[in-house]
């Protein structure tokens, strides 16, 4: 704590307000989460989080989210590449539209995706004869998770592509590398940390997502129920300590995902020219 | 510097196939395929859902749409959504400015922790944002008995919805201001101080004009999330149509009652808000860029992502 940094006035006011606000809004409620979890006892905690129906939701929330994040890794990187390197009519529109999943309320996305993939509807009627069930099936959860996590990869990768210097690619070409070899061995390696960071962030968002999924998933026990829904069910049964227990599990998982994302990003920043 | 070379072809110059291809660009057909894949992805995952919303709203004609927006319960949900945003957004704007000021102007113990806490709502499930308040103020929560004894309702009522919305939206303003104020530095503020300006004078006359586009950017994102929040609010709302339903909750109610045209009518209003948000956000990015041109580069933080600054 160096006092010389405190030249400008307002330190006590700004910090005081910030800390008060965060204490009331975050710290106190988080303490309640810890307290309620503990109040149920270890046995209740363990029974709740290992209940077969709850365990089945982990497979959906954490498993399908992983698949969605990988798919977003591929398409997000392609989109970032197109935005950074190609010029075509409508590029700016696409770039602005990338953030639509952030701006569109999740309930709106939820009913729109459900309508899109329900049998007898837009895309559903073409998928049904092929025996593909999307709405009210795990595939629907996947679609919603892809939608919600897509912008993260583009936003993580695009600035790094823009920073790549031309010389190394030119050097590779001069040395006789084909374009594909250059992409694979010269361009992709420095992008990899950013791509993984984007995948991890997109995963984190999909794991906790609720609104856009609950409509299209149909909430079938042991099949398409997601973990956040279990919290709501426990609250409806007034099992506060059970709800808090699942909340703690989700909080811990999210914290782990964020820490991994941070590590990958720090690792990637070491290779970037500008910090 | 080599990194400033623009790799893109100049607009309108679609290179013919028989012309030589630069060594640092993909062949024309490859580029077309990649652009095609990206366009397809955007059409399928981003544009089609939007089309479905507007088509669904208009499917039964204008009269149904008009009736929807004269329906008492739907109008009430709009009023609830606006009221919640009207409290949560200004409160979080004030908090965002205060937090960004404290974090970028001073070094102090616990600064990293403060930053991490500001990011928290971005990476936890919104449902947890509702859960924690139920555990505090719900009927069997810590303050539940006391609140009941004094006949104060927070959960399943308006105050709870404001609390949950405020929780999920408080990072936005702070997160768009912190990187901006960090790069802008404090020289002008310090100059104002030596000329005898007070704290609030500095804030109003020097800092706010410098950060106005970043602030605008944060506020519109905060507002979009506040009006559209579903997960957190659905935990703390009694979900009674005409009483405690926000627009997203009303969409759920209408949809579950198979009133699809009405559900999509409300959804189309929120989708329109999302589109306006995207336009204003892009505008703020451009204006901020223009304001900073010539000076030190400080791009707006790339939106809402959970890029923790720990």
Contacts with B306 (C-beta within 8 Å, 6 or more apart), sequence order: A152, A201, A204, A205, A258, A261, B119, B122, B123
> Mean pLDDT lowest for which of A198-207, B56-65, B75-84?
B56-65
Is the pLDDT score of B94 beyond 80?
Answer: yes
What mean pLDDT comes out for the span A95-117? 92
Read off the pLDDT of residues A183-196 as tens digits, 9 standing for 90 and up: 888 888 888 999 99
Predicted confidence band at A65 (pLDDT cuts at 50, 70, 90)?
very high
What pLDDT score does B273 carry? 93
Q: For residues A198 and A204, what is the distance between their CA atoms, to the nearest angstrom?
A: 10
A125–chain B nearest CA distance, Å:
15
Q: Is residue A145 part of a domain?
A: yes
Is A32 close to B132, i.e. CB distance below 8 A? yes
Q: What percent of chain A has pLDDT over 70?
A: 96
Q: CA nearest A142 in B: which residue?
A: B45
Return the sign of the alpha-carbon dihedral for residues B138, B143, B148, B152.
Answer: negative
Q: Is residue A5 part of a domain?
A: no
The range of the structural domain enclosing residue A117 comes to 41-269
CB proximity B227 to A under 8 Å = yes
Taking each helix axis from N to C terminus, what angle separates B48-58 and A106-117, rounded to the nearest 10 degrees? 90
Q: Is residue A6 part of a domain?
A: no
Of the candidates B246, B251, B225, B223, the one whose C-alpha atom is nearest the C-alpha of residue B235 is B246
Q: For residues A29 and B166, what is the distance between their CA atoms, to the nearest angstrom?
A: 13
Is the pLDDT score of B236 beyond 70?
Answer: yes
Of the candidates A147, A168, A39, the one whose C-alpha atom is nearest the C-alpha of residue A102 is A147
Predicted confidence band at B189 (pLDDT cuts at 50, 70, 90)?
confident
Of B8, B128, B270, the CB nearest to A86: B8
**CA A224 to chain centroid:** 18
Residue pair A231/B131 in contact (Cβ under 8 Å)? The answer is yes
Is the pLDDT score of B304 beyond 70?
Answer: no
What pLDDT score does B293 carry? 64
**Single pTM value for the model:** 0.86
Taking contacts as CB-CB distances below 8 angstroms, the residues of chain A near B119 are 258
> Mean pLDDT lowest for which of A97-106, A128-137, A199-208?
A128-137
CB proximity B272 to A under 8 Å = no
Return the sign of the alpha-carbon dihedral for residues B166, A150, B116, B210.
Answer: negative
What pLDDT score does A14 carry? 87
Vertex A44: Cα angle to A240 and A46 (nearest 5) = 115
Q: Is residue A204 part of a domain?
A: yes
> Mean pLDDT lowest for which of A137-146, A205-214, B139-148?
B139-148
What mean pLDDT comes out for the span A199-212? 92
> Mean pLDDT lowest for which of A65-79, A139-153, B79-93, B171-185?
B171-185
Q: For residues A46 and A57, what is the distance between their CA atoms, to the nearest angstrom?
A: 16
Q: What is the CATH number of domain B62-292?
A: 1.10.3720.10
Q: Is residue A36 part of a domain?
A: no
Is the pLDDT score of B12 beyond 70?
Answer: no
Q: Output the CA–CA distances (angstroms, integers) from residue A184 to A80, A169, A187, B21, in the order listed.
A: 16, 11, 6, 19
Q: Is residue A1 part of a domain?
A: no
Domain-by-domain residue ranges, chain B?
Answer: 29-58, 62-292
What pLDDT score does A5 carry? 55
Is A104 close to B107, i.e. CB distance below 8 A? no
Read off the pLDDT of residues B37-51 as tens digits, 9 standing for 90 and up: 999 999 999 999 999
B197-205 long-range Cβ contacts below 8 angstroms, 24+ apart = B198/A9, B199/A8, B199/A9, B199/A10, B199/A13, B202/A8, B202/A9, B203/A10, B203/B97, B203/B101
Give the ranges where B229-296 is alpha helix by DSSP (H).
231-236, 247-256, 260-292
Is A208 close to B127, i.e. CB distance below 8 A? yes
Within 10 angstroms of residue B69's Cβ, the number of other Cβ atoms is 13
CB proximity B133 to A under 8 Å = yes
Predicted confidence band at B107 (pLDDT cuts at 50, 70, 90)?
confident
What pLDDT score does B4 carry? 45
Is the pLDDT score of B298 beyond 70?
Answer: no
Q: Is residue A11 part of a domain?
A: no
3-state helix, strand, coil in chain A (%, to 5): 80, 0, 20
Within 10 angstroms of residue A210's Cβ, the number of other Cβ atoms is 27
What mean pLDDT comes out for the span B137-151? 88
Residue pair B101/B178 in contact (Cβ under 8 Å)? The answer is no
Is the pLDDT score of A274 beyond 70?
Answer: no
Q: CA nearest B162 in A: which residue?
A: A25
Q: Output the CA–CA distances (angstroms, integers) from residue B280 to A218, B78, B202, B276, in the order listed.
A: 35, 22, 27, 6
What pLDDT score does A202 carry? 93
Is A108 close to B267, i.e. CB distance below 8 A? yes
Taking contacts as CB-CB distances below 8 angstroms, the residues of chain A near B305 are 151-152, 155-156, 201
Among B22, B33, B118, B124, which would you mutate to test the A interface (most chain A Cβ atoms within 10 Å of its Cβ)?
B124
Predicted confidence band at A151 (pLDDT cuts at 50, 70, 90)?
very high
Q: For residues A74 and A92, what is the distance between their CA atoms, to the nearest angstrom?
A: 21
What pLDDT score does B279 carry? 92
What mean pLDDT comes out for the span B204-210? 86
Of the candidates B126, B104, B124, the one whose C-alpha atom is nearest the C-alpha of residue B174 is B104
Within 10 angstroms of residue B18's Cβ, the number of other Cβ atoms is 5
- CATH number of residue A144's parent domain: 1.10.3720.10
A227–chain B nearest CA distance, Å:
10
| Token output for B258 | 């198979």
DSSP summary character for residue B91: H
B243–chain A nearest CA distance, Å:
19
Read off the pLDDT of residues A153-172 as tens digits, 9 standing for 90 and up: 999 999 888 888 878 888 88
Q: For residues B188 and B172, what is the distance between their CA atoms, to the nearest angstrom?
A: 25
CB proximity B35 to A under 8 Å = yes
Among B38, B97, B103, which would you mutate to test the A interface (most chain A Cβ atoms within 10 Å of its Cβ)?
B38
CB proximity B167 to A under 8 Å = yes
Vertex B177: Cα angle to B172 and B181 (nearest 5) = 165
Return the sign of the alpha-carbon dihedral for residues A202, A207, A210, A215.
Answer: positive
Phi-psi category of B61—alpha, beta or left, where left has phi over 0 and alpha has psi -120 to 50? left
Of B45, B141, B277, the CB nearest to A240: B141
Predicted confidence band at B8 (pLDDT cuts at 50, 70, 90)?
low
Q: What percent of chain B has pLDDT over 90?
A: 43
Is the pLDDT score of A180 beyond 60?
Answer: yes
Total domains present in chain A? 1
The DSSP code sequence of A191-206 is: HHHHHHHHHHHHHHHH
Read off the pLDDT of residues B149-179 as tens digits, 9 standing for 90 and up: 898 888 898 999 999 999 999 999 999 998 8
Is the pLDDT score of A244 beyond 50?
Answer: yes
């Amino acid at each position: 704590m160096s006092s010389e940094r405190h030249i400008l006035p307002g330190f006590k006011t700004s910090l005081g307000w910030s800390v008060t606000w965060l204490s009331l809004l975050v710290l106190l409620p988080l303490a309640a989460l810890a307290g309620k979890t503990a109040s149920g006892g270890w046995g209740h905690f363990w029974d709740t989080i290992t209940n077969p129906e709850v365990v089945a939701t982990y497979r959906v929330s954490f498993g399908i989210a992983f698949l969605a994040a990988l798919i977003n890794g591929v398409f997000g990187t392609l989109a970032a590449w197109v935005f950074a390197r190609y010029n075509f009519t409508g590029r700016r529109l696409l770039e602005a539209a990338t953030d639509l999943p952030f701006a569109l309320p999740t309930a709106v996305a939820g009913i729109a995706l459900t309508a899109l993939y329900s049998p007898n509807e837009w895309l559903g009627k073409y998928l049904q004869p092929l025996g593909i069930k999307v709405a009210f099936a795990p595939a629907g959860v996947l679609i919603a998770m892809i939608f919600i996590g897509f912008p993260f990869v583009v936003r993580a990768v695009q600035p790094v592509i823009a920073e790549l210097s031309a010389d190394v690619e030119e050097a590779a070409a001069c040395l006789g590398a084909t374009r594909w070899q250059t992409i694979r061995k010269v361009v992709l390696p420095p992008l990899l940390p950013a791509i993984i960071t984007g995948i991890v962030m997109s995963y984190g968002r999909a794991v906790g997502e609720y609104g856009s999924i609950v409509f299209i998933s149909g909430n079938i026990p042991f099949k398409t129920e997601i973990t956040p829904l279990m919290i709501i069910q426990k609250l409806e049964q007034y099992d506060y300590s059970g709800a808090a227990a699942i909340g703690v599990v989700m909080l811990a998982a999210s914290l782990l995902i964020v820490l991994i994302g941070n590590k990958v990003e720090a690792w990637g920043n070491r290779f970037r020219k500008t910090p | 510097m080599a990194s400033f070379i623009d790799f893109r072809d100049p607009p309108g110059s679609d290179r013919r196939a028989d012309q030589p291809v630069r060594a640092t660009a993909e062949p024309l057909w490859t580029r077309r395929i990649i652009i095609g894949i990206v366009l397809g992805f955007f059409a399928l995952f981003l544009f089609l859902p939007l089309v479905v919303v507007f088509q669904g709203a208009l499917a039964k004609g204008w009269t149904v749409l008009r009736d929807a927006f004269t329906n008492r319960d739907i109008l009430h949900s709009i009023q609830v959504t606006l009221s919640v945003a009207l409290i949560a957004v200004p409160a979080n704007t004030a908090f965002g400015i205060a937090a960004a000021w404290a974090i970028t102007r001073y070094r102090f113990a616990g600064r990293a922790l403060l930053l991490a806490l500001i990011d928290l709502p971005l990476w936890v499930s919104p449902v947890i944002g509702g859960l924690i308040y139920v555990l505090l103020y719900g009927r069997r929560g810590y303050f539940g008995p006391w609140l009941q004894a004094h006949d104060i309702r927070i959960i399943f009522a308006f105050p709870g919805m404001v609390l949950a919305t405020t929780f999920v939206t408080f990072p936005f303003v702070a997160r768009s201001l912190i990187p901006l104020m960090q790069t802008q530095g404090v020289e002008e503020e310090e100059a104002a101080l030596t000329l005898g300006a007070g704290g609030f004078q500095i804030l109003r006359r020097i800092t706010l004009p410098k950060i106005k586009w970043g602030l605008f950017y944060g506020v519109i994102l905060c507002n979009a999330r506040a009006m559209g929040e579903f997960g957190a609010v659905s935990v703390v709302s009694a979900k009674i149509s005409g009483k405690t339903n926000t627009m997203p909750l009303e969409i759920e109610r209408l949809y579950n009652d198979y009133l699809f045209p009405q559900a999509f009518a409300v959804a189309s209003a929120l989708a329109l808000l999302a589109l306006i948000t995207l336009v204003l956000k892009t505008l703020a990015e451009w204006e901020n860029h223009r304001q900073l041109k010539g000076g030190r580069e400080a791009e707006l933080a790339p939106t809402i992502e959970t890029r923790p600054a720990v």
